[in-house]
Amino acid sequence: MAKDTVSIKLIVGLGNPGSQYEHTRHNIGVDFLYLLGRKYNIDLRPEGKFQGLLGRGTIHGNEVRLLFPTTYMNESGRSVAALCNFYKIQPEEILVCHDDLDLNPGFMKLKFAGGLAGHNGLRSITANLSNSQNYYRLRLGIGKPPSKEVINWVLGRPDTNDQILIDNAYETALDAIDKLFTDGISKATALVNGYKPN
């Protein structure tokens, strides 16, 4: 069977900079990005002209850049667009990893394009990519808050049980990224979207 190849040149992990935001629900995307960097020996270092932490390496022979925009979530798109303009990376060559309120902890979805689901980071990226939504997203579930206090929820840290579910999901997501570069998008998507937390 033919490999349904996609060319991913940039993987973005969304979050907020600063120690007070480390490992909060809103930073689940960048937490995953660091795990990905560790797996493939890609170090993230400050890069002023792109307003972020940037790493470059290879995944199964493919040159890939990892980016954590340090502009704060609402301005993530400025960092992404600056890098894409410099390296001539197209929206469909980008994978954005981000938190998702509509998925419970441990659940994930890998998809191409679609709506923004009220996510300010995605909104900023879309606006700065000439309103293109044609990029891949790895949606990592954080669940909805028990009350309507969304800001306190996303800026808080998961409890122990939720963190275990999230950590287990990371392992499958790492395998899916591997599969994305070796077997294609369909198998990677099937692995992510078919995953059920224990």
For the segment 72-92, what is each residue's pLDDT rounded down to a tens digit? 999 999 999 999 999 999 999
Return the minimum-mean-pLDDT range out of 15-19, 22-26, 174-178, 194-198.
194-198
Q: What is the pLDDT of residue 3?
A: 54
135 annotated among ligand-binding-site residues: no
Which residue type is seen at 154? V
Q: What is the pLDDT of residue 1?
A: 39
Inform me whether the pLDDT recorded for 36 exceeds 50: yes
Rounded CA separation 154/28 (Å): 10
Assess contact for 69 and 79: CB atoms under 8 A: yes
Tell me the three state secondary structure of residue 68: strand
Residue of 23, 26, 60, 119 marked active site: 26
Instruction: Establish whether 98 is a catalytic residue.
Output: no
Rounded CA separation 110/181 (Å): 14
Q: Could you give the percent of the chain with pLDDT greater than 70?
A: 98
C-alpha of 19 from chain center? 19
Rounded CA separation 162/81 (Å): 33
Average pLDDT over residues 169-192: 96
Number of other CB atoms surrounding residue 161 within 10 Å: 10
- 2 pLDDT band, cuts 50/70/90, is very low
End-to-end CA gap in the chain: 31
Q: Could you give the percent of the chain with pLDDT greater than 90?
A: 90
- 180 pLDDT band, cuts 50/70/90, is very high
Report the relative pairing of strands 108-112 and 45-47 from DSSP bridges: unpaired
Residue 184 gets which letter from DSSP? B
Residue 48 CB contacts under 8 Å (≥ 6 apart), including other chains = none
Place of tokens 């997501």: 173
Q: What is the pLDDT of residue 165?
A: 97
Judged on CB neighbours under 10 Å (0-12, 13-18, 19+), 102 is middle
Q: What is the pLDDT of residue 116?
A: 86
136 annotated among ligand-binding-site residues: no
120 annotated among ligand-binding-site residues: yes
Domains identified in the chain and CATH numbers = 10-193 (3.40.50.1470)
Number of other CB atoms surrounding residue 115 within 10 Å: 9
Average pLDDT over residues 101-130: 93
Tell me the three state secondary structure of residue 177: helix
Q: What is the pLDDT of residue 153?
A: 95
- E-strand ranges in 40-192 read 45-47, 52-59, 62-69, 94-100, 108-112, 136-141
